[in-house]
Chain A
Amino acid sequence: MFTHLINTTQRWDEVLYRKPTMQAVIIAIQQSVPILAIDIYCRLVMKLAISPDALLTNLFDQYPTFPDSVVDISRHILSVLDASVILIFIAGLTHQYLKEKSIQNTTLPVLTNLIVTYLLLFNKNQLIAYNAVPYLLITLIALLTCQTYYWYYNRNRATRSPYALSYLFWSLTTIITFGKLLHIVLQLPRLQSISSTILSQSFFTTFFGLLLVAIFSPILFIMGLPLPLEFTNNQTTLNTVIANLDTMLTHGLTTLPFPENLYSVYGSFTLFGGIGNTLALNVLLLFVTSKSIRRLGLLAWLPSLFDNNFLLFSGLPLFMRPLILVPMLMTNIISMLISYTAIACHFIHPSVYITPSNLPNILLPTLASPTPIQSTIVTILIFCISLLIYRPFLSRLMLEVSHEK
């Protein structure tokens, strides 16, 4: 049964990833890995050492506080790096896709798509606050604009210059339609605040609510859709979590109003290394036979330890990948079931305490729960199960990689 599932998933993966469009996406996303690595390591330094709520600042009283000017400059550098990652991906994708269509001079569509992406995702020279790049959205828009360019190119073959008035007209129309109008229509930050309001509902303290989150978070992540902040690390601001903490602080170890919630189940047991317990996947990557993948595993290891799995997302890549989505779904659902049962059966007391910002999530159950030993046992159990789930799927993925060689 399990082998059948792996075989079927591998078939889907092969079918999807052999498509020329998908090949262009893979090449483009992997081209952005070097700049992404710089971005992610800078981000790591920021959250460990420089930002006002850096981990070291929280843990050590004597740790020096950086002046505001240093923090501001660091933030500015990070936003430039974020922009570079996205723009390099878009430039690569546009070029690759049109090259497949035998268009040699891709300068104008590349420039157009860069402007469209910039206008769509940036506001006042800053990337709109996301906790993940909305890869699906920008990929679809880039492919759509490329397709319109291809159609236009075929109609205007007689025009030699790639900067002829007719092409400039196409460029302007595309920029206005996708960059300006779509920016207004989509209002992405508003979508995130709506999702935060929804996740505050007490439905997400029930079994089905938590199961829904466990299922949806890997789907949104792998599909490259914008994620609600609460899906990655922001659960402690939810009313249900605050109510638990208040009860705990006032009445001590007593019955909590919402023992099973996004923080105690989803946040504590399914985010080791990022969405889908990808720290387990990263451990496996350190021991694969493919040298390049092992190198990726090494590069991604430290950010993964601090719950940033975007190097895996772009390097492996995980984007739209059935061979990763299926084990990630299984890991999330099983982790959720185990932790929910452990709380419901009173084997562990749920996570209630607030931990220092930017602490690795793998420590969260041990530190935030009043029953640290039992919570550590459940953490180790879930981590081992995650390793077991990812392993066979990763073996198949490695087969595909070796075929690609």
Chain B
Amino acid sequence: MKNKIILGLSFILIILLGIYSQHWVAQTSTNQAKIQNSRMTPVIFIPGSSATINRFDNLLSTINTNGPTHSILKVQVNTDGKLVYSGNINANDRQPFIVIGFQNNEDGYNNIKKQTQWLTSALYSLQERYHFRTFAAIGHSNGGLVWTDYFENYYDSDTFTVPTLMTLGTPFNFSESSLQRRTEMLKDFIQNNKKLPTNLSMYSIAGTEDYSDDGIVPIQSVIAGRYIYQKKIKDYTQITVSGDNAQHSNLPDNPEVVKLIQTNVIRPLSQSGRR
């Protein structure tokens, strides 16, 4: 008798689990289908330390003036992990621009690690909201460090596909001007570079004001990126820009940089979205 009661209770348990799981399977499959079939391929920007989500305003308006208009969404991740959205993505826009900034935008390796965790949760929230799978990544200054930390420690190729990363004046060795003196962060990045996605194309843009730095970041620190990326990913390209607006803070507004973004990030990404 006791055994029959156990079997009966187990049967009820299985039915209940089945009902709840059916809901989970339906929800997950619908979500996966939307992501799978999504043709949205945003470009996601991360500003450097001390900068806000408005850091790329000039760059984005220049790109929108010169070509088709992309809608702009700005997301600020607060220290408690809460996301504050401003702007919106048009329903028909397949290639929106998304800027992700952090309330705590201080400099330093520990903070970069924190910002990467906030970035990861923001990306998942954005995917759940807009159902995209493929995106291109651009990071100015420390924004490039956050992307690097993300690709090495948080990126999951089953969830996202990122064909291109472009970093602008990113100090991979912080303010060290000699490659002989490697910071803890650079050592960590080099140590973990086996985890970088092998299908990634990476463009590292350096600015020069006086042949040695861009006013803030030593060029050797930007070039140190090659020790992390070269031969670990699909392509690694190092580009140096000079002339007007080659100073560190002005790099995103440099006309050469705008052209590089259009040619190497936006155009190939729109082609991959059409495929």
Chain A interface residues (CB < 8 Å from chain B)? 55, 58-60, 245-246, 249-250, 283, 286-287, 294, 297-298, 301, 305, 353-356, 359-360, 362-363, 366-368
> Which residues of A are found within 8 Å of B20, using beta-carbon distances?
59-60
The 9 closest A-B pairs by CB, nearest first: A249-B36, A286-B3, A249-B33, A59-B20, A367-B25, A363-B18, A356-B24, A353-B25, A353-B29
> Which residues of B are found within 8 Å of A60, using beta-carbon distances?
20
> Which residues of A are found within 8 Å of B32, using beta-carbon distances?
245, 249, 354
Provide the B36-63 mask, 1 if CB < 8 A to any CB of A, else 0.
1100000000000000000000000000
A359 to B13, CA, bound (A): 12
Provide the B7-47 mask, 1 if CB < 8 A to any CB of A, else 0.
10010011001101110110011001100110000000000
25 contacts between A and B (CB under 8 A): A58-B24, A59-B21, A249-B29, A249-B33, A249-B36, A250-B33, A250-B37, A283-B7, A286-B7, A298-B3, A301-B10, A305-B13, A353-B25, A353-B28, A354-B25, A354-B29, A354-B32, A355-B24, A355-B25, A356-B25, A363-B17, A366-B18, A367-B21, A367-B22, A367-B25
A55 to B22, CA, bound (A): 13
B6: Cβ under 8 A from any A Cβ = yes
Chain B interface residues (CB < 8 Å from chain A)? 3, 6-7, 10, 13-14, 17-18, 20-22, 24-25, 28-29, 32-33, 36-37
> Which residues of B are found within 8 Å of A363, using beta-carbon distances?
14, 17-18, 21
- Within the complex, the shortest CB–CB distance from A164 to chain B, in Å, comes to 50
A249-B37 CB under 8 A given contacts A286-B7, A363-B18? yes
A378 to B14, CA, bound (A): 17
Q: Which partner residue on chain B sits nearest A245 by CB separation?
A: B32
A297 to B29, CA, bound (A): 37
- Within the complex, the shortest CB–CB distance from A252 to chain B, in Å, comes to 9
Supply 15 further A-B pairs (C-beta < 8 A) apart from A283-B7, A362-B14: A55-B17, A250-B36, A286-B3, A301-B10, A353-B25, A354-B25, A354-B29, A355-B24, A356-B21, A356-B25, A359-B17, A359-B21, A363-B18, A367-B18, A368-B25
- Within the complex, the shortest CB–CB distance from A257 to chain B, in Å, comes to 15
Interface of B is mostly: helix
A301 to B3, CA, bound (A): 10
Q: Which partner residue on chain B sits nearest A352 by CB separation?
A: B29
> Which residues of B are found within 8 Å of A359, using beta-carbon distances?
17, 21
A321 to B37, CA, bound (A): 51
A305 to B22, CA, bound (A): 18
- Within the complex, the shortest CB–CB distance from B44 to chain A, in Å, comes to 23
A47 to B22, CA, bound (A): 19
Please tell me if the beta carbons of B36 and A59 are within 8 angstroms of each other in the complex: no
Please tell me if the beta carbons of A246 and B18 are within 8 angstroms of each other in the complex: no
- Within the complex, the shortest CB–CB distance from A281 to chain B, in Å, comes to 14
Please tell me if the beta carbons of B37 and A360 are within 8 angstroms of each other in the complex: no
A362 to B11, CA, bound (A): 11
- Within the complex, the shortest CB–CB distance from B231 to chain A, in Å, comes to 24
A246-B10 CB under 8 A given contacts A58-B24, A355-B21, A367-B18? no
A297 to B10, CA, bound (A): 14
Q: Which partner residue on chain A sits nearest B34 by CB separation?
A: A249
A305-B14 CB under 8 A given contacts A246-B36, A354-B28, A363-B21? yes
> Which residues of B are found within 8 Å of A246, using beta-carbon distances?
36
Please tell me if the beta carbons of B3 and A287 are within 8 angstroms of each other in the complex: yes
> Which residues of A are found within 8 Å of B14, using beta-carbon distances?
305, 360, 362-363
> Which residues of B are found within 8 Å of A360, using beta-carbon distances?
14, 17
A287 to B1, CA, bound (A): 10
A363 to B13, CA, bound (A): 11
A264 to B29, CA, bound (A): 17
A58 to B25, CA, bound (A): 10
> Which residues of B are found within 8 Å of A356, using beta-carbon distances?
21, 24-25
> Which residues of A are found within 8 Å of B13, using beta-carbon distances?
305
Interface centre among B6, B10, B18, B21 (most CB of A within 10 A): B21
A363 to B22, CA, bound (A): 10
> Which residues of B are found within 8 Å of A249, using beta-carbon distances?
29, 32-33, 36-37
Please tell me if the beta carbons of B18 and A301 are within 8 angstroms of each other in the complex: no
A356 to B13, CA, bound (A): 16
A305-B21 CB under 8 A given contacts A246-B36, A249-B33, A298-B3? no
- Within the complex, the shortest CB–CB distance from B190 to chain A, in Å, comes to 24
A270 to B195, CA, bound (A): 36
> Which residues of B are found within 8 Å of A294, using beta-carbon distances?
3
A218 to B217, CA, bound (A): 63
A174 to B24, CA, bound (A): 53
Q: Which partner residue on chain A sits nearest B10 by CB separation?
A: A305
- Within the complex, the shortest CB–CB distance from B79 to chain A, in Å, comes to 19
Q: Which partner residue on chain B sits nearest A285 by CB separation?
A: B3
A301 to B8, CA, bound (A): 13
- Within the complex, the shortest CB–CB distance from B234 to chain A, in Å, comes to 21
> Which residues of B are found within 8 Å of A354, using beta-carbon distances?
25, 28-29, 32
Q: Which partner residue on chain A sits nearest B23 by CB separation?
A: A59
> Which residues of B are found within 8 Å of A305, using beta-carbon distances?
10, 13-14
A346 to B36, CA, bound (A): 26
- Within the complex, the shortest CB–CB distance from A370 to chain B, in Å, comes to 9
Q: Which partner residue on chain A sits nearest B16 by CB separation?
A: A59
One of B3, B7, B10, B24 near A59 (C-beta < 8 A):
B24
> Which residues of A are found within 8 Å of B24, using beta-carbon distances?
58-59, 355-356
A359 to B18, CA, bound (A): 9
> Which residues of A are found within 8 Å of B29, using beta-carbon distances?
249, 353-354
> Which residues of A are found within 8 Å of B22, using beta-carbon distances?
367
